[in-house]
Amino acid sequence: MHFATSHGTWHVTTERQRAAGRTGARKRLQKGPKLKANHISQIRQEKAQAQWNRENFVFMEFIRIFNEERDEFQKQRRLKSLLRKGQAKTTFTMLNRGYTEEEEEYEAEANRDVEFQDEWRKKSIVEDYWKADDYVQTFKKLRKDPDRSMMEHMMSNNMFTMFTYDLEQQKPWPRLGARTDRFVDVLRDAAAAEVLDHERPVLTHELADFANPYMMKRSAAERLLHERCVRNALDERVMPRLLDAQADLLRLRREAPMPPEVLEPLAAFRGDVRWSFDSRERLRQKLRGINVALDAIKKEEDVMRCLPENQVEDPAPDQLAGVHHPWRNHLGFESAVPKGTAGGITFGQPEKSLSQQLAQMRYPTLQRVAHTLPRDPKYRSHVARSIRVLERNRYWDYQSKLNAINRMKETYDYLKPSEEYTEALDEKLVVNRVFGKIRRKYAPDAEYVKTYPKNFLKEKSYYWYRPSLFPQSKISSKKKPNRS
């Protein structure tokens, strides 16, 4: 209802109209929440999908590229296979299946369950002892009557030889380690060594290859006692004393040949450069010398001058393989001391060239790197002194010494002349220092680095700290009291 008054139009709402309005609002509220909830859930789903797309964009892009590349690869592979089938030619060689070889069956593998038993192991250990004892008997025969034993061995093995001396007049091997360098004695020793090397057995239960009959028999006896006689730890401790007390082993140890570690230092100290502990190698050296002497006689030249032992004044530049080494008295005989490894990854590998060269050198000098020294006199003297010091250093290996000198020369080649560095150091760190009273009188403006007097730590100090080496201000002459 509307009423018009002097102040304006009034709108009057009746009770019925108010009730109808409340009913419509209620209906709208009942329908409104359902529509609103559906809309909100749809918005949430869209937001979640958008978030997932943003987070997994790289992965989805990778999947797309991967599928494209895989389809392309499969397509190309099918095309290549079709082209290959179309270009292939039918040949009968592809139909040949060849033949098969039967695998060889070894006797050790066939009787593995029978032979590798305790009884067979005992027999093989006893067989090792028999082999060692037979080798000892051969060694004793060669020492007692070497000429007859060598002739019997050569005739039994179809080996023919010719001796230039009377076999019946030769004496047995000298005892107590006596050894001569005559051609006849070297020839006899070389033949005996060849016979022993040919008769030396291979033990089944010993990895070491003993040339000394004493060590071979002792090793076989030790293996036999350890396998069949040792019962506890006490027997194991007593076993070495039992072996040392065996009379036959004592005689063999007394008659055993001397090792190269005994004679090689004596020969090197005497100055021999063409000598070898191995009698067979020494025989080769003597035969080479004989051939050189015969060639000199044939050419009517001076025999003594042509011998290898006398060619020391003017050696060949290539006397050391792989290196220009024309210096005298640098090379000597090669040691016969066994070297290398008896197992592992380095077993059987060839020796390095530097190790072979060191084995021939009497004294491993650094003469090979003492060339092309720096032109600067200070650098040159430093390198020369370093060479002299490293030559007498025993804690560095030879390759490290060579590398140090070469790097030092290379570094000095890239540096400026030493005079520039000397001038800069003399300007900053004066070497010739003067007394304080002379400096104050003749050089009042000069600044020197402060130095400590001799044994300054033992002198009593009146300061809590030691002044710096680079003082910025003068220290007062008043001494501070000791607070201790």
Which tens digit of pLDDT belongs to each residue from 170-210? 455 444 445 788 888 888 888 888 989 999 999 988 888 88
Evaluate if residue 454 carries a pLDDT over 50.
yes
- The pLDDT confidence band at residue 65, using thresholds 50, 70 and 90, is confident
Q: Residues 113-151: pLDDT tens digits?
A: 666 678 888 888 999 999 999 999 999 888 877 666 555
- Both tokens assigned to 55: 């987070």
Residue 469's pLDDT is 53
Residue 423's pLDDT is 87
Of the chain, the percentage scoring pLDDT greater than 70 comes to 71
Q: Residues 302-346: pLDDT tens digits?
A: 888 888 877 777 777 888 877 888 887 788 888 888 888 877 888
Residue 405's pLDDT is 95
Task: State the SS3 of the chain.
Answer: CEEEECCEEEECCCHHHHHHHHHHHHHHHHHHHHHHHHHHHHHHHHHHHHHHHHHCHHHHHHHHHHHHHHHHHHHHHHHHHHHHHHHCCCCCHHHCCCCCCCCCCCHHHHCHHHHCCHHHHHHHHHHHHHHHHHHHHHHHHHHHCHHHHHHHHHHHCCCCCCCCCCCCCCCCCCCCCCCCCCHHHHHHHHHHHHHHHHHCCCCCCCCCCCCCHHHHHHHHHHHHHHHHCCCCHHHHHHHHHHHHCCHHHHHHHHHCCCCHHHHHHHHHHHCCCCCCCCHHHHHHHHHHHHHHHHHHHHHCCCHHHHCHHHCCCCCCCCCCCCCCCCCCCCECCCCCCCCCCCCCCCCCCCCCHHHHHHHHECCCCCHHHCCCCCCCHHHHHHHHHHHHHHHCCCCCCHHHHHHHHHHHHHHHHHCCCHHHHHHHHHHHCCCCCCCHHHHHHHCCCCCCCCCCCCCHHHCCCCCCCCCCCCCCCCCCCCCCCCCC
Residue 389's pLDDT is 93
pTM here is: 0.57
Which class for 147: exposed (0-12), middle (13-18), buried (19 or more C-beta within 10 A)?
buried
**Higher pLDDT pick, 436 / 167:** 436
Evaluate if residue 422 carries a pLDDT over 90.
no
Least confident of 12-21, 206-215, 287-296: 12-21
Find, among 173, 335, 183, 362, the residue nearest to 259 by Cα: 335
**Higher pLDDT pick, 480 / 391:** 391
Amino acid at 81: S
Evaluate if residue 164 carries a pLDDT over 50.
no
